Amino acid sequence: MKKAGLLETIDNKYFRLTSLGKSLNLEKIESFSSKFLSQYEGFNEFRNYGKKSNPSTQNFLEDDNDSTPEEIINIEFNKLNQSIKDDLIEKIKLNSPQFFERLVVDLLVAMGYGGSHQDAAQAIGKTSDGGIDGVISEDRLGLDKIYIQAKRWENTVGRPDIQQFKGALADQVAKKGVFITTSNFSKEAVESAKKSGIVLIDGNKLTSLMIEFGLGVQIERSFHLYKIDQDRFDEDNF
């Protein structure tokens, strides 16, 4: 229902009906099935995510006879994953910039940077240099430093933002920088970052890393795909 635009999140904890949801005559609705929700564009965009991210999957969905169970599972898994990533971004944006900085600390530590969590927490959000939000150790020994820019933004990050960060790195004689945002980067920003060796992490990459390192998510259930162990049925092995 949320993907259809019928529900919205309140205080990062509760759900309530949107104006569109309130316009429904609930007494006449038997169930909020996929068939019912398919009349809403937002829900259809969610359902069709697999087609958009990989056009070749469209044939799988249109003709089940041409798709294997593994291919169907992969498509549906990607759709569910994208839904979780969308929800993660929404929850991040509902919180403060300070929350986002702490989240960045948690992610970097989970990825093996920053030494201890305490060391990393002291580094982020403590600098006053223009264009730099924090400095974190690349390894536990602190042999090298990574300069961080963490922005909880809605708008696309452009080339001027990268140029400002680049200038701040030059002032610190820094070799490594990471720009993390909840939004995305313009083509010009990406090209500018490549020339300077700056690593860019947009909202999509950010949420992918959060899922990979188990930050802000929990495993609801696990599935195992089995195949025949051919060696077990080879008489020569007995």
The CATH code of the domain that includes 117 is 3.40.1350.10
Domain-located, residue 111: yes
Domain-located, residue 219: no
Domain-located, residue 89: no
The rounded distance, in Å, linking the Cα atoms of 75 and 50 is: 6
Domain span at residue 184 reads 97-213
Query: Taking a C-beta distance cutoff of 8 angstroms, is the pair 124, 150 a contact?
Result: yes
Domain-located, residue 76: no
Domain-located, residue 101: yes
The pLDDT tens digits along the chain (238 residues) read: 667 777 776 665 566 778 887 787 777 777 667 677 778 777 777 666 545 555 544 444 444 556 778 888 888 899 899 999 999 999 999 999 889 988 998 898 889 887 666 666 555 655 555 568 888 888 777 778 889 999 999 899 999 999 999 999 998 888 899 999 999 999 999 999 998 889 999 999 999 999 999 999 999 888 888 888 888 888 776 6
Q: How many domains does the chain have?
A: 1
Domain-located, residue 228: no
Domain-located, residue 202: yes
The rounded distance, in Å, linking the Cα atoms of 65 and 232 is: 30
Domain-located, residue 166: yes
pLDDT at residue 61 in the model: 47
pTM above 0.95, yes or no: no
